[in-house]
Amino acid sequence: MTFDYDLFVIGGGSGGVRAARIAASEGGARVALAEEYRMGGTCVIRGCVPKKLMVFAAGHGAAMDEARAYGWQLSVQGFDWRAFRARLDDELSRLEGIYTRNAENAGVEIHHQRATLIDPHTVALADGRQFTARHILIATGGTPFVPEAFEGQGVMTSNEVFLMEDLPRSILIIGGGFIACEFACVLQGLGVEVTQFYRGAQILRGFDDDLRHHVAAEMSAQGVALEVSTDLVSLERLPDGRFAAVDTGGGRREFDRVLFATGRTPNTQGLGLEEAGVVLSESGAVKVDDWSQTNIPSVFAVGDVTDRIQLTPVAIREGHAFADTVFGGKPTKADHALVASAVFTRPEAATVGLTEDEARELGRVKVFMTSFRAMQTAFAEGTSKAMFKLVVCAQSDRVLGCHIVAPGAAEMIQFAAIAVKMGATKADFDRTVAVHPTMAEEIVLMRNPAREH
């Protein structure tokens, strides 16, 4: 059978674009890609990149306060959201252009519209055109989830945060994961009065407990009104556009905006996947094997739409592995073990490997931990503390997990992740000479375990 393309990619985010580029440039494939919104996907347009730029913006307020303690004479007029947003929009457009040009330069034909699956080898574009492809890759990512009871009430998700015309005076954030905690810290740092509800006992479920408690304490100390074991019961839109929220304790409060950060769901609705025979999980994720292949041999999927690890670098690795396997003659499985991650709260939290509880399930562990005020903070009479933690196998001495809460934690964990991935032992850390004076030196200076069990 003759096909219009060797590969048709649905979704122009990080995973889809990487797969398309490698298949075309290195595999010599005829490739097309369809993106219904903007090239770059969640990470570039409404996720990692604009979020990190907002993190930078929010950090300057505290930095200026600290600067005064270091002798700087400053006069600050306040934060201009509209000026920042204009620069942000320009930067995202620049990055979108780069993503588009890089794909096109590699030989990828881009369709700037929605595509759906008709059958295992056919896709249909929104304008009615249909194309056949030997292989089809689903890379449509995820979408923010809002509980049905609160849909259509004018609440925001992470998609809309970057599109606000003005900063609100107050905001209620619902959720306790990455996105909720990051935006709570960002908006508080920009001068917004932030209240955060999380129905669980502690934020950042799935992370190490010491890290979770440390981040929660730091967020509260900075002014985020963090209320755990609390959920939203009802929401009323007031005549002035504000919101009246009632919580599980019966309290009623008013907020300018309400942001739901209650998780993301795989973006598979209305794509025609089930009609084409592709099996989905209960959550709507595309089920794939270790090679990112679905139950339909010609259909593959990578990235958040598979709900494996929802991180951009993971999607990129999966997309590259797919292209190498199918078009490069280099069978490659994406490695999902020991993937490091960071949460851009203030201070940042970063982790790689097992939590203490996870490690204990495998056997006896030694826990090395320290918490302290960094030199820069202490000089300015700040109260914020850094935390470093290593979880070590008591039998093999291998470092099973590393958890850091500190300014620059994301930068530190990248290098710690190399050591953990290589199977470094605590003795390897101990014989590494410290770089002084730094916060990071603490990772090689913890000699005595805080506990062993």
Q: Count CB-CB contacts under 10 A for residue 431.
A: 9
**Each residue's pLDDT tens digit, 219-248:** 999 999 999 999 999 999 999 999 999 999
The CA-to-CA distance between both ends of the chain, in Å, stands at: 62
C-alpha closest to that of 141 among 20, 400, 4, 316: 316
pLDDT of the residue at 176: 98
Which 3 state secondary structure label does DSSP give 440?
A: helix
Task: Inform me whether the pLDDT recorded for 75 exceeds 90.
Answer: no
Say which amino acid occupies 361. Answer: E
pLDDT of the residue at 290: 97
161-193 in b/e burial notation, b at 16+ Cβ within 10 A? bbeeeebbebbbbbbbbbbbbbbbbbbbbbebb
Evaluated on CA atoms 56, 62, 64, 67, the torsion sign reads: negative
**Each residue's pLDDT tens digit, 356-396:** 999 999 999 999 999 999 999 999 999 999 999 999 999 99
**What mean pLDDT, rounded, does the chain reach?**
97
In the chain the domains, ranked by start, together with CATH numbers, are: 5-143+265-327 (3.50.50.60), 148-261 (3.50.50.60), 347-452 (3.30.390.30)
Angstrom CA distances, 84 to 94, 246, 250, stand at 15, 33, 38
pLDDT of the residue at 403: 98
Active site positions, annotated: 436
What's the pTM? 0.96
C-alpha closest to that of 315 among 260, 261, 267: 267
pLDDT of the residue at 438: 97
pLDDT of the residue at 437: 96
d(CA 323, CA 426): 38
92: its two tokens? 């995202």
C-alpha closest to that of 175 among 152, 146, 154, 151: 146
What are the φ and ψ backbone dihedral angles of 351, each rounded to 5 degrees? -155, 150
pLDDT of the residue at 10: 98
Task: Inform me whether the pLDDT recorded for 27 exceeds 90.
Answer: yes
**Each residue's pLDDT tens digit, 132-180:** 999 999 999 999 999 999 999 999 999 999 999 999 999 999 999 999 9
Which 3 state secondary structure label does DSSP give 267?
A: coil
Q: Count CB-CB contacts under 10 A for residue 236.
A: 12
**Each residue's pLDDT tens digit, 113-143:** 999 999 999 999 999 999 999 999 999 999 9
How does DSSP assign 383-414, residue by residue?
---EEEEEEEETTT-BEEEEEEESTTHHHHHH
Task: Inform me whether the pLDDT recorded for 77 exceeds 90.
Answer: no
pLDDT of the residue at 76: 83
Average pLDDT of span 306-317: 97
d(CA 445, CA 433): 9
Task: Inform me whether the pLDDT recorded for 1 exceeds 90.
Answer: no
Q: Please count the residues of the chain.
A: 453
Task: Inform me whether the pLDDT recorded for 266 exceeds 90.
Answer: yes
